[in-house]
Amino acid sequence: MTTSKLTLISHPLCPFVQRAAIVLLEKGVAFDRIDVDLADKPDWFMALSPTGKVPLLKVERQDGRDAILFESMVICEYLEETQGGGKLYPEDALSRARQRAWIEYGTATLADAWQFLNAKDRATADAKRAAFHGRLERLEEALEQGPYFAGPTFSMVDAVFAPLFRYFDLIDPGVTQTIFQGLPRVRRWRHALALRESVLAAVGQDYGHRFKQHLAGHQALLAG
């Protein structure tokens, strides 16, 4: 286990940052957090980030030189391999591979959800809501007894889906109810994740306000 000082470079609304924050919190790792304005990226951030995106994890090494990790799942897997706390991947290779596959699925699901949430016209909203609901139907088939993805133990898949589900606590409850209708396992999973301490602590207290401001600023249908 490493004892390097860790700094998470983030944005208050980024769901990919939340993945890394949830893993850090699950493992009980002390870390600093620095938010950047992605609409006006500072020069120091652009010098560190090859993609111009968050999250970044700055790892202070013993030789005094900082290592910079980018891409959320790279950061999460580094933390899994180097930090203590509960393991977020199963020991069994097949189960671990299955979880990694559903993590990839989670990223694609997030894209459909985000396009639905930010849709400015009814046709786009309806198409993306149908696409997102279809992805949830596949998850309904894959879920086990719960309360988490693979049963009673919180895993890396849960860290990936929790930021996605958080959005649906913040929009019109009628819209959310329609999307999750007929998906009892997904609904139970979503509610269990919403109550998880690490999920709650991964965002600031003003997250809901910031997200609603984002929708309004993008003139999304759901802003109203």
Tokens of 195: 């109550």
Q: Diameter of the chain by CA atoms?
A: 56
Q: Which of 64, 16, 49, 12 is nearest to 33 (CA)?
A: 12
Helices (H) and strands (E) in the chain, counts: 10, 4
Q: Which of 14, 23, 57, 143 is catalytic?
A: 14
3-state DSSP helix/strand/coil percent for the chain, to nearest 5?
A: 55, 10, 35
Q: How far apart are the first and last CA of the chain?
A: 48
Q: Is 207 helix (H, G, I), strand (E, B) or coil?
A: helix
Q: Is 14 a catalytic residue?
A: yes
Q: Is 161 helix (H, G, I), strand (E, B) or coil?
A: helix
Strands 5-10 and 56-60, how do they pair?
antiparallel
Question: What positions carry a catalytic annotation?
Answer: 14
